């Protein structure tokens, strides 16, 4: 149930990101690569991971190891997962910035 909820949230974020670009035309589902290119996909996923880290920190539970890990019961694993979400999000945003504004550009 929670995996489908996470997938639904990701689809909503991706659709909102494409709507914010000002494009109003219909895009076939097999041509998503024309709407979201690789660098911007990295940015979107990085922001989503950072937002999930903030939400999970606020709620005190994180989805890991195919179950919920609670801050009160297992603080070591909880903060480890929060750190992984944050570092992965920052790394993806850094990869986006490197690809867009890197030395080759």
Tally of CA atoms within 13 A in the half-sphere of 57 that contains its CB: 13
Paired residues of 68 in beta bridges: 63
pLDDT tens readout for residues 37-83: 667 888 999 999 999 999 999 999 998 878 999 999 999 999 999 99
- What DSSP letter does each residue of 67-99 carry, written as one string? EEEETTT-HHHHHHHHHHHHHHHHHHHHHHHHH
* pTM for this model (two decimals): 0.64
pLDDT tens readout for residues 11-35: 666 655 555 555 455 555 555 555 5
Give the pLDDT score at 92.
93
């Amino acid at each position: 149930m929670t995996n489908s909820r996470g997938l639904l949230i990701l689809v909503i974020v991706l659709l909102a990101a494409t709507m914010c670009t000002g494009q109003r035309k219909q895009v076939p589902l097999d041509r998503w690569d024309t709407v979201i290119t690789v660098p911007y996909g990295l940015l979107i996923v990085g922001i989503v991971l950072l937002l999930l880290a903030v939400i999970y920190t606020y709620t005190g539970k994180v989805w890991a190891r195919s179950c919920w890990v609670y801050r009160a019961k297992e603080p070591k694993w909880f903060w480890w997962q929060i750190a992984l979400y944050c570092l992965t999000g920052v790394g993806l945003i850094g990869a986006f910035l490197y690809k867009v504004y890197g030395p080759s550009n």
